[in-house]
Amino acid sequence: MSPDVFEKVTALCKRRGFVYPSSGLYGGLSGFWDFGPLGVELKNNLKAAWWGRVVHGREDVVGLDSAIIYNPKVWEKSGHTKNFSDPLIECKKCHSRFREDTLKEKVCSTCSGEEFTEPKMFNLMFKTYVGPVESAEGLAYLRPETAQGIFINFENIVNTTRLKLPFGIAQIGKAFRNEITTGNFIFRSREFEQAELEWFCQPKEADKWFKYWQKERVEWYGELGMKKENLKFREHEDKERAHYAVTAFDIEYQFPWGWGELEGIANRSDYDLKAHGLKYKDEEAGEELVPFVVEPSVGIERSAFAFLLDAYYEEGEGDKKRVVLKLHPKLAPYKVAVFPLVANKPELVNKARSIYELLTKNYQLGPVAWDERGNIGKRYYSQDEIGTPWCVTVDYQTLEDQTVTVRDRDTTKQDRVKVADLSSLFLQKLS
Ligand code: GAP
């Protein structure tokens, strides 16, 4: 992937309302982002696609939505208060701070200084206080991973469902990390959403399930159109594995700056359940055990970014030059756009408007775009740039035979379709 795709996609995201710097009005806040009208649709579509395959599409996984702030004992027991740290170094000349492993050449990116302090471990958890007094008793943390919410609800879920090993508990929610170095747009931020599955299994079966979830997760990216050649596995070296993991692989994506972590898959062994003193009772075997946990975990914003980069194309020459986001229709913020052929013929505008309203009422299609500005070619290109897979145009023939043209984003081919068949056609294409 050429490095300039990074600039092009980030500029497109800002220009078209996918992503804005958070608090931009006040100069922004490093590591925080707001997701505009298109960004929120993309993120919601991504979350629905993850939840669909990981939870709804199977009988052995249930969902959870836990609080963000837990009793701080959770983080003590889980080892995060002690171990969830990165090595911080400081430039001796200008005092800029860096995560040690992000400085490749050991040269300060602010002042080119080459002398740094010894690395100090810096805990990444954001602190806050619960209650009206800022005292040690009220100290709490914004969760740096959603997984602990699942572990502390393990018994609740086992007791209120009929799940038997192996089974999974899934959660999508906010996570916060006071990252020393943020950057690469939304790749590494301080507030983000994680989609995490904790898969509980017999200890002796953990390796088998680890391989299963590696395969399953890569298939999910493929199902949503991500190019195979842009994905690969990388096993963590001993020193980089998180404190809870016995085995860890990243699914890496070929970002414009090189291969980088897209999703982590870890064998967390019985570390967390043991830490919280939790067990599972196998009624049939009449024994108690502490299951092992296999965990695929992905950041929604990070994967949204990878899908955007992967879908970015520039095609054609001269007047026919277009930018097109070939997002999978399930991910595209708008599935359908509706236009009157020209904006100054009320009979065409009224007819197009009625079709727009009809499609808009079909919530399964998500939001429908409307555009009557400029010429039709410009409108197509404008939708191509945000990834809308189908454009419906109402022309003079529509008034005679109740058909419209449906233009396909990727082929730019147009077919005539009966107005009455539009909703079912799009739903069928999406299914
Ligand atoms: N519960 C396991 C866990 O949190 P992780 O490898 O630290 O593991 C999992 O994080 C995923 O969360 C990463 O693969 C990445 O997609 C996303 N992620 C982690 N830190 C992030 C950050 N600062 N900004 C955006 N996404 C992040």
In ligand 1, which atom is closest to the CA atom of 196? 1
Residue nearest to atom 26 of ligand 1 (CA): 299
Short-list 7, 65, 4, 10, CA closest to 33? 10
Residue nearest to atom 27 of ligand 1 (CA): 299
Task: Tell me the pLDDT band of 1, cut-offs 50, 70 and 90.
Answer: confident
Tokens of 208: 């088998």
Q: How many angstroms separate the CA atoms of 377 and 339, rounded?
A: 11
Give the chain's length.
431
Q: How many angstroms separate the CA atoms of 268 and 80, rounded?
A: 14
The pLDDT tens digits for 157-191 are: 999 998 999 999 999 999 999 999 888 999 999 99
Ligand 1: centre distance to CA 337 (Å): 35
CA angle 355, 361, 366 (to 5 degrees): 100
The answer to whether the CB of 268 is under 6 A from ligand 1 is: no
The answer to whether the CB of 263 is under 6 A from ligand 1 is: yes
pLDDT score for 2: 78
The pLDDT tens digits for 23-37 are: 999 999 999 999 999
Asked, as a colleague might, if the bond just before 166 is cis with ω within 30 of 0, I would say: yes
The answer to whether the CB of 294 is under 6 A from ligand 1 is: no
From 85, 268, 297, 305, mutation site for ligand 1 pocket: most ligand atoms within 8 A of C-beta = 297
Whether the predicted pLDDT of 102 surpasses 90 = no
The pLDDT tens digits for 297-341 are: 999 999 999 999 999 999 999 888 999 999 999 999 999 999 999
Cβ neighbors of 154 (< 8 A, separation 6 or more) are 169, 200, 273, 276, 278, 280
Whether the predicted pLDDT of 251 surpasses 90 = yes
Residue nearest to atom 17 of ligand 1 (CA): 299
In ligand 1, which atom is closest to the CA atom of 189? 24
Rounded to whole angstroms, the maximal C-alpha distance in the chain is: 78
pLDDT score for 115: 93
The answer to whether the CB of 188 is under 6 A from ligand 1 is: yes
pLDDT score for 370: 98
CB under 8 Å, gap of 24 or more: what pairs does 228-237 form? 229/254, 230/1, 230/254, 230/306, 230/310, 231/262, 232/259, 234/259
Kindly state the percentage of the chain with pLDDT values over 90: 91
- According to DSSP, the residues that pair with 210 across neighbouring strands are none
